[in-house]
Amino acid sequence: MNSYEWMVKYTSQTEWIKGGGMLVWLSFYAGILGSGSYLVSLYFNNLLGMLVSWLIIVVIKNGFHMAHAKRPMRMWRMILRPKSSWLSRGTIFIGLFTGCGFIQLILSYLLPGTPAEITFKLLTGIAVCAVLLYEGFTLNYIKGIPFWNSALLPVLFIFWGLLSGLALIATIGWSGADSSGLAAGNQLFLIATIILTVLYMWSASYAGAAAQESVKIILQGNLSLIFGVGAVLLGMIIPLIIWWLSSVVGQTLAVTILVCEIIGGLAFTYSVFKAGVYSPIISNDWR
Amino acid sequence: MSRWGMVIDLKKCISCYACMVACKQEHFIPPGVFWNRLLISEAGEYPRVKKMVYPILCNHCKKPVCVDVCPTGASKQREDGIVTIDSQECTGCQYCVLTCPYQQRTYLADTSKEYFPGQGLTKFEIIGQNLNPHEEGTVSKCNFCKDRIDEGMKNGLQPGIDRNATPACVNICMVKARHFGDLDDPNSNVSILIRVRNGYRLRTEWGTEPSVYYID
């Protein structure tokens, strides 16, 4: 873009995807991956899965956030505005998840099945749902980028998180869970994600010229390869085919699915972040 | 209580960029950072082409989304409507930069850049770093020269009328295209201009109720 085209033509957001901004994209994906995995691990009562997911959020996601902030010592202030700021709410949710999750993991290891463990499982489950939700709403709140201002975006983030979680559980192995149930669950979520992605792109193309421009960038522009190969092929189609062909997936295929899901999730979130464009303040047909 | 606003007369603006430079000079703004800008566009087809020039700055919206989304409270709105950033509280998350639909906020990634690279800082830049330091890793934007307004009002001056209480970009405009005043006073210069000349704001559909009006 030439400098004289800034906010006269569609202007891409760069703060959260270019240079140091890539850390924000990575932290968002780590949050989606960790929270989805934790929820699935909670459902299948897989302690190792819960531990891995907890570490993904606490170490990796928070690590990326701290690395992005030039003033990390001030980050405690981010809990001060939960009334109006999604970032503030998210910080609180992550804090609650960290604390409750830590206690719950210890209780699950030492005192499984006790009322205390069940209580903390419930609290941690609520906190991790909130972590999974806040990310989509953080982007959804931004009216200036019409492509993000869609109610489907938080839902899509939830589904990508759960997809990755199911793949993680399949890789780690499940104890006492119904393997055919896991296969059916994966296929269901994959089909639902495909449908939701199509709906999201379709509805975005009706959400105004700027959102249409974003869809064009993803489907026909310089993001088409990343989105097509990464998000669609590796993230959705190949895992679906693998699950269809073998309802019982061995370790190797499970790792393949997990790698595909992670690449798919990264490609999807990258495409969403990168394709966010602002409507021009003035344009060629203004007044 | 006053609500400060600005009216920009597009018929008078000659796109000389003096307002941009005056703003940089007033606040010792680092290279690559602009609190005041000019957007230039063309509309129509030859031979009926119209050139559009829009001086833009922070709109100090009545309903600022940037204040709502700030997680630390560094972005605040004063009672007189001026939206400010406390750089001591800003963590540099840039959520406000993303949220502003007018894109009038700037993240200060590097405040050590020199205007003349490789030649060290000029005396002016050194003075600026002491008088008005810009903190690296925080967000900055136009503040309607609030220090001039506050100091002027303390001395009994009227913003928009008396130069020492008026924003620098308004003072420097040689064609008097910019006007500053109290939007809540129906008899102020800005209110009269908006009423008589059908002042409008940019992109009202975004719902932020900007305090910067344009007349043409």
In chain A, what are the domain boundaries? 9-278
Inter-axis angle of helices A179-204 and A238-245, to 10 degrees?
A: 150
Q: What is the 3-state secondary structure (H, E, C) of chain B?
A: CCCEEEEEECCCCCCCCHHHHHHHHHHCCCCCCCCEEEEEEEEEECCEEEEEEEEEECCCCCCCHHHHHCCCCCEEECCCCCEEECCCCCCCCCHHHHHCCCCCCEECCCCCCCCCCCCCCCHHHHHHHHHCCCCCCCEECCCCCHHHHHHHHHCCCCECCEHHHCCHHHHHCCCCCEEEEECCCCCCHHHHHHHHCCCECCCHHHCCCCCEEEEC
Mean pLDDT across B43-64:
91
Interface test with A, best of B56, B95, B140, B205 (most A CBs within 10 A): B95
Asked if residue B110 has pLDDT above 60, the reply is yes
Q: Which residues of A fall within a CB distance of 8 Å from B100? A: 144
- Out of B39, B72, B74, whose CB is closest to A7? B39
State percent of chain A over pLDDT 90: 72
Residue A284, pLDDT score:
60
Cα distances (angstroms) measured from residue B47 to each of A30, A247, B42, B43, B50: 55, 68, 12, 11, 9
Q: Does A140 touch chain B (CB under 8 A)?
A: no
Asked if residue B22 has pLDDT above 90, the reply is yes
Mean pLDDT across A185-207:
92
Are A281 and B203 an interchain contact pair (Cβ–Cβ within 8 Å)? yes
Residue A270, pLDDT score:
96
| Nearest to A91, CA basis, from A76, A105, A103 | A76
CA–CA gap between residue A271 and residue A273 (Å, rounded): 6
Residue-by-residue DSSP string for A95-144:
HHHHHHHHHHHHHHHHSTTSHHHHHHHHHHHHHHHHHHHHHHHHHHT-TT
Asked if residue A286 has pLDDT above 50, the reply is no
Are B71 and A87 an interchain contact pair (Cβ–Cβ within 8 Å)? yes
Mean pLDDT lowest for which of A1-15, A109-123, B53-67, B193-207? A1-15
Shortest Cα–Cα distance, B163 to chain A (Å): 30
CA–CA gap between residue A12 and residue A225 (Å, rounded): 18
Q: What pLDDT band is residue B119 in, cutting at 50, 70 and 90?
A: confident
Are B89 and A283 an interchain contact pair (Cβ–Cβ within 8 Å)? no
Q: Which residues of B fall within a CB distance of 8 Å from A87? A: 69, 71, 93, 95
Q: What pLDDT band is residue A287 in, cutting at 50, 70 and 90?
A: very low
CA–CA gap between residue A206 and residue A222 (Å, rounded): 21
Q: Which residues of B fall within a CB distance of 8 Å from A6? A: 37, 39, 103
ipTM confidence score: 0.89
State percent of chain B over pLDDT 70: 100
Are A69 and B91 an interchain contact pair (Cβ–Cβ within 8 Å)? yes
* pLDDT per position as a tens digit, A224-242: 999 999 999 999 999 998 8
Residue A176, pLDDT score:
47
| Nearest to A264, CA basis, from A199, A155, A153, A190 | A190
Asked if residue A186 has pLDDT above 90, the reply is no
Mean pLDDT for chain A overall:
90
Domains identified in chain B and CATH numbers:
4-215 (3.30.70.20)
Shortest Cα–Cα distance, A264 to chain B (Å): 25
Answer yes or no: are the C-beta atoms of B102 and B147 closer than 8 Å.
Answer: no
Mean pLDDT across B170-194:
96
| Nearest to B5, CA basis, from B117, B144, B103 | B144
H-helix or E-strand containing A248?
none
- Taking every pair of Cα atoms in chain B, the longest distance, rounded to a whole number of angstroms, is 53
Measured torsion, CA atoms of residues A62, A64, A70, A72, in degrees rounded to the nearest 10: 10
Q: Does B69 touch chain A (CB under 8 A)?
A: yes
Q: How far apart are the first and last CA of chain A?
A: 24
Q: Which residues pair with B43 in a beta bridge?
A: B50
Q: Which residues of B fall within a CB distance of 8 Å from A23? A: none
Asked if residue A175 has pLDDT above 80, the reply is no
Asked if residue B131 has pLDDT above 80, the reply is yes
Asked if residue B145 has pLDDT above 50, the reply is yes
Mean pLDDT across A95-103:
96
Asked if residue B50 has pLDDT above 50, the reply is yes
Q: Which residues of B fall within a CB distance of 8 Å from A69? A: 91-93, 137
Q: Give, in degrees to the nearest 5, the angle at Cα B81 between B172 and B175.
A: 20
Q: Which residues of A fall within a CB distance of 8 Å from B138? A: 70-71
CA–CA gap between residue B190 and residue B167 (Å, rounded): 14
Are B93 and A69 an interchain contact pair (Cβ–Cβ within 8 Å)? yes
Residue B114, pLDDT score:
83
Are B95 and A85 an interchain contact pair (Cβ–Cβ within 8 Å)? yes
Mean pLDDT across B188-201:
96
Mean pLDDT for chain B overall:
93
- CB-CB neighbours of B196 under 10 Å: 9
The larger pLDDT score, comparing residue A1 to residue B52, is at B52
Asked if residue A33 has pLDDT above 70, the reply is yes
Q: How many residues does this entry show for chain B?
A: 216
Cα distances (angstroms) measured from residue A287 to each of A143, B9, B193, B201, B216: 22, 16, 20, 12, 11
Are A8 and B207 an interchain contact pair (Cβ–Cβ within 8 Å)? no
CA–CA gap between residue A152 and residue A136 (Å, rounded): 9
| Nearest to A23, CA basis, from A270, A281, A287, A282 | A270
Are B98 and A70 an interchain contact pair (Cβ–Cβ within 8 Å)? no
The larger pLDDT score, comparing residue B164 to residue A3, is at B164
- Out of A6, A81, A282, whose CB is closest to B72? A81
H-helix or E-strand containing A48?
helix A47-55
Cα distances (angstroms) measured from residue B73 to each of A70, A89, B209, B216: 17, 13, 21, 37
* pLDDT per position as a tens digit, A123-170: 999 999 999 999 999 999 999 999 999 999 999 999 999 998 888 888
Asked if residue A247 has pLDDT above 90, the reply is no
In this prediction the pTM is 0.91
A9-278 is a CATH 3.40.50.2300 domain: no
Answer yes or no: are the C-beta atoms of B115 and B127 closer than 8 Å.
Answer: no
Shortest Cα–Cα distance, B86 to chain A (Å): 12
Cα distances (angstroms) measured from residue B147 to each of A93, B82, B126, B157: 38, 11, 20, 13
Asked if residue A285 has pLDDT above 60, the reply is no
Structure tokens at A203: 């509805």
- Out of A88, A141, A281, whose CB is closest to B56? A281
Q: What pLDDT band is residue A245 in, cutting at 50, 70 and 90?
A: confident
Mean pLDDT lowest for which of A63-72, A238-247, B33-42? A238-247
Phi, psi dihedral angles at B85 (to 5 degrees): -125, 125
Q: Which residues of A fall within a CB distance of 8 Å from B141? A: none
Q: How many residues does this entry show for chain A?
A: 287
Shortest Cα–Cα distance, B40 to chain A (Å): 7
Mean pLDDT lowest for which of A176-185, A205-214, B185-194? A176-185
Are B68 and A88 an interchain contact pair (Cβ–Cβ within 8 Å)? no
Residue A170, pLDDT score:
80
- Out of B74, B107, B206, whose CB is closest to A143? B206
- For residue B47, cis peptide bond before it (omega within 30 degrees of 0): yes
Q: Does B100 touch chain A (CB under 8 A)?
A: yes
Interface test with A, best of B33, B37, B39 (most A CBs within 10 A): B39
Going by DSSP bridges, is the β-strand pair B212-215/B4-9 parallel, antiparallel, or unpaired?
parallel
Residue A255, pLDDT score:
86
Mean pLDDT across A91-114:
95
